[in-house]
Structure 1
Amino acid sequence: MWILIVVITAMPVVSGTNGISVNMHEFESENTCQIAAKQFKDQFHKVSESDINARAICVKK
C-alpha cells in the first residue's frame, strides 16, 4: 500500500496569515501513486501563482 501526500502552502496575501492544506490518498502500487503525483504536479503548475507552493510525494505505508 502506498500513500500520496499532497501539501499546498500559500503565502499571506490579504489576511496576513499563511495557509496550508495537507491531503492523503491511498494506492495499491507505487506506480499508480507516482502517476497520480505526476498528474497533480502537472495540473497544479498550470494554475499556480507565485505565492502558492505545492508538493506531492509517495510513501510506503
Structure 2
Amino acid sequence: MPIPPHEFDPFAIVVDWLDACRLGDLHALVDMYDERATLECSCDRVTLIGRASIAAY
C-alpha cells in the first residue's frame, strides 16, 4: 500500500534500510522496495526487475 506523500519520512526509511542491512534481514530489506523496482548492476551487467529477482540476486 503506497504511503501518502505527507506521511512519508525519508530519514526514517534510511534508518530502517540501514538497520535491515546491518541485521542481514533480506526480507525486511526487499520489502522496502516497490514490486516493480529495478536494480541495475553494472559490475555483473544484469538488470533485475521486482522484489523476487532482487532477493534472488
Q: Name the TM-score class by shorter chain.
A: 0.3 to 0.5
TM-score (norm 1): 0.32
Larger RCO: 1 or 2 (CA < 8 Å, sep 6+)? 1
Structure having the larger proportion of residues in strand: 1
TM-score (norm 2): 0.33
